[in-house]
Amino acid sequence: MTDPAPPAVPLSCPGGEGTPLVATTTVDQFLNWFRQGSIWYLLFATACCGIELMQTGGPRTDLDRFGAVFRSSPRQSDLLIVAGTITYKMADRVRLLYAQMAEPKYVLAMGSCANCGGLFQPSYSVVPGVDAIVPVDLYLPGCPPRPEALNEAILRLQDLIASERWADRMKGRRRTPAGIVIGGAAAEA
């Protein structure tokens, strides 16, 4: 696991020693710094992965360190962690939850079921991958992924946020889903 990226806000004193401290930075870095440190995720636990999601929010792994706290309402969330199997009966609700979230929003497909249907691909009622319903930015393999892995996914999401440009969004350019696979190409297998 890599260390979290240091805040990308270079501090400088343009007037020399003794002048008031002034920070100069770019708009992108400034905004992204805040966004990176306040990833509020939607408490959307459908199956087994939800328990590991709870453990990750618990005292040991403690996602709060990264400013990532769970919210119960999609209106307040930045990140949709799809923690568990999605069935056809559930599919419309996932779409609805995603539509209710405010931009900018991200989707993390946690666990094999959300990635590709996982163990339940042969089933008649399971959606083979949540990317059939909502755009997915991060794929996290595992059945269920360990808390360390989920932690890593949050850090990769911070990197993703850091790379975004404010101007793109102001010009109304639609962001394409990043589709990053945490830990290599294993999730597609």
Query: What residue ranges bind other proteins (CB under 8 A)?
Result: 43-48, 50-52, 54-55, 57-60, 72, 84-85, 87-93, 95-99, 116-117, 119-129, 131-136, 143-144, 146, 174, 176-177, 179, 188
CB of 74 to other proteins, least distance (A): 8
User: What is each CA distance from 103 to 64, 107, 175, in whole angstroms?
Assistant: 22, 12, 10
Is residue 164 left, alpha or beta, with left meaning phi > 0 and alpha meaning psi from -120 to 50?
A: beta
What is the C-alpha separation between 49 and 110, in angstroms, rounded?
A: 7
Structure letter (DSSP) for residue 87: B
Q: With respect to other proteins, which residue has the nearer C-beta, 32 or 87? A: 87
CB of 128 to other proteins, least distance (A): 4
At closest approach, how far in Å is the CB of 112 from other proteins? 11
Q: Which is nearer to other proteins, 54 or 162 (CB)?
A: 54
Residue 36 or 109 having the CB closest to other proteins: 109
Where residue 83 falls (left for φ over 0; alpha for ψ -120 to 50; beta otherwise) is beta
Considering the complex, what minimum distance in angstroms separates the CB of residue 1 from other proteins? 17
What span, in angstroms and rounded, lies between the C-alpha atoms of 160 and 35?
11
Closer CB to other proteins, residue 87 or residue 151? Answer: 87
Residue given tokens 């990833």 in the structure block: 39
Nearer to other proteins, 21 or 189 (CB): 189
d(CA 187, CA 189): 6
